[in-house]
Amino acid sequence: MRNLLVFFMAAAFLPLAGCERLSRQPAPFGGGATVPSQSAFALNTVNTITLYDEGYPHIYHAVFARLHELEGKLSMFDADSYVSRINAAAGVEAVQVHPDVFYVIERAVFYAEISGGAFDPTIAPLTMLWGITGDAPRVPSQQEIDGLLPLVNWRNIELDPETQSVFLREHGMAIDLGAIAKGYAADEVAAVIRRAGVPRAMIDLGGNVLLVGAIEEGRPWRIGLQSPFGERGAFFGILQTEETSVVTSGVNERYFTAGGIHYHHIFSPFSGRPAESGLLSVTIITGVSMDADALSTSAFVLGQERGRAFIEGINGAQAIFVTEDMSVYLTSGLTAGVDFILIDSSFRLAN
Ligand code: AMP
Ligand code: MG
């Protein structure tokens, strides 16, 4: 029996570990209607966009149109998406894709390589076997896991930049971009927002947060970091930061319980099971949201020690690790009490 995390608390299903803006009022501006924030379901989560200035309906419309367009290209659950077409052609032929899709897969392969395979976009056979993103998740047998593990290997993704085509070498292989697509979508939404001339905005794609501009001159943004226990909106700490992206991977983002055991959605590509790295969550802070997204999943699988060394080696990235023994570890670029403020006394700062 695997010693997975057992929680004795009844936690509601949380779409993703969340961050929440702590300052709520949109700035006054002249003319037109102010729309403080708007939400929509896409990419398997609730997405909330807050335009603090220039919150015109047509800008929100453009933002959500871009989100839905990306979902239609990148989701493995949409039979018409490029990802589904790549998966259906595994072992048979290469599929020419849209530049958005080629770029995300190219970056996913890059992160697979630098994380030593802890991040692996070919994890789909396992995520589907466990049904972790669906309505009926289950614990498969070891035999079933062992049968699919050889298909999980990012080195068998063949990318041809000339033709912008993607080929999965083995029949049965499949790509799942769930650990990186929200990050890319956040970056793309930010591009729409910036092009529209909006100076201050918060993009929150189910906890994958990207800040645009400064919330107030001379003051940092204050982002509540979702506690790995408890309800959405229960924070264990506050991050004070300039314009950046803040992305969390954690055990309570998406999970199911069976026989009193908590099975979360971040898989070890090596064991074929929910990663048991000793972590409850990892939050990554870095400018590009796609990088933060890929790095948070990578660091979660790697665990506190290896994950921290990994993030320290990446220019411009910082991280906050929460371990099962309720310790919080910060990378060297973050100062406790300044950048990160611990507010839940059941956790302790470990460095
Ligand atoms: P995140 O919340 O960004 O850490 O992404 C987790 C999601 O990415 C899961 O729901 C799976 O769809 C997928 N996934 C799980 N484990 C991995 C992994 N080791 N590498 C890449 N994607 C993964
Ligand atoms: Mg991720």
Q: How far is the CA of 329 from the centre of ligand 1 (A)?
A: 22
Q: For the chain, how long is the longest CA-to-CA vector?
A: 64
Q: Which amino acid is at 222?
A: R
Residue 14's pLDDT is what?
A: 25
Q: How far is the CA of 28 from the centre of ligand 1 (A)?
A: 40
Whether the per-residue pLDDT at 254 is higher than 90: the answer is no
Q: For residue 300, which atom of ligand 1 is closest to its CA?
A: 4
CA distance 124 to 177: 9
Whether the per-residue pLDDT at 164 is higher than 90: the answer is yes
Dump pLDDT digits (tens) for 276-309: 999 999 999 999 999 999 999 999 999 999 999 9
Dump pLDDT digits (tens) for 120-155: 999 999 999 999 888 889 999 999 999 999 999 999
Residue 102's pLDDT is what?
A: 98
Task: Name residue 239's beta-bridge partners.
Answer: 223, 340
Q: Please indicate whether residue 18, judged by its CB atom, sits closer than 6 Å to ligand 1.
A: no
- Locate all alpha helices (DSSP H) within 30-123, ordered by sequence: 57-74, 82-88, 99-114
Mean pLDDT rounded to a whole number for the chain: 89
